Structure 1
Amino acid sequence: MYATHRNATSAYRDNAVATASPARLLVMLVERLVLDVERGLAAQRSGEWPEAHRHLLHAQDIVLELEHSLDVDKMPAGKQLASLYEFLRNRLVLANVRRDPRLTTESLTLSRQLCDTWREAAMAAAVS
């Protein structure tokens, strides 16, 4: 029964990604970023360093993907956003290497702000 539920959940998630608009995909990506940083922070606070490392590494991968997919010349504030992504990625690396919950908390705050901003932008684009 559990395997059937997991397969159904996986199929639903795969379908949601396959049919999502580019704006929705971006929001889904930054939502996952927030989730990874939250999980990394929780693991750091409980001393589960391999688990913290895994989540923070995935968060770094997401930010790197955001950086690589950004066309700085097509966005009015593209260069500033690129700098913000680079700053966040560097903070996540430091938080991971130093095992520093303070840096992870800082990264979480920034990740949540990015997520809120991209949600608002996606909603505004959908209304237009």
Structure 2
Amino acid sequence: MTAPHLRDRYLQDSVNTASPGKLLIMLYDRLVLDLGQAEQALAAQEREVAHEKITHAQEIVIELRTSLDVDAWSGAPALANIYGWMLTELIGANIARDAARVKAIRELAEPLRDTWREAAAAAVAG
């Protein structure tokens, strides 16, 4: 097997064996990465790369929204609304090629990711 195939298999195995909390953090990590790369691509006028990264970020937000159980806890409906806002902003940012909108989403996603990371660590420890 070649190195890229081994890496892909490792990544797939990591996803397949991850706990729900770890999967959530992996999604957020990738969301933040995509948003940062989209910002950079927009600044460099690399429209195709920016579109690819923003579109992937949209897919992640859709996954986060659809996997959210709004009846599980009282804050879930508000989080669903945040995901809806993110998706709307990502679509608008992609159309307008607006790095500032992408940055605003990233700046919101980062503390959400960090909060979920802390919650997952507390669940494992507790």
Normalized against structure 1, the TM-score is what? Answer: 0.93
Shift of residue 49 of structure 1? 0.6
**Residue pairs, 1:14-53, within 5 angstroms:** 14-53=12-51
TM-score by length of 2: 0.95
Counterpart residue number, 1:95 = 93
| Percent sequence identity over aligned pairs | 40
Deviation per residue, 1:23-76 (Å, 9 max, x gap): 101110111111111111111000011110110011011101111111111122
Which sections of structure 2, spanning at least 5 residues, go unmatched? none
Q: Answer yes or no: is 1:114 the counterpart of 2:112.
A: yes
**What stretches of structure 1 of length at least 5 have no aligned partner?**
none
- SS of match in other structure, 1:74: coil
1:65 aligns with 2:25: no
Aligned residues: 126
- Please state whether the residue corresponding to 1:47 is helix, strand or coil: coil
Tell me how far 1:126 sits from its aligned partner: 0.9
Could you say which residue in structure 1 is the equivalent of 2:53? 55
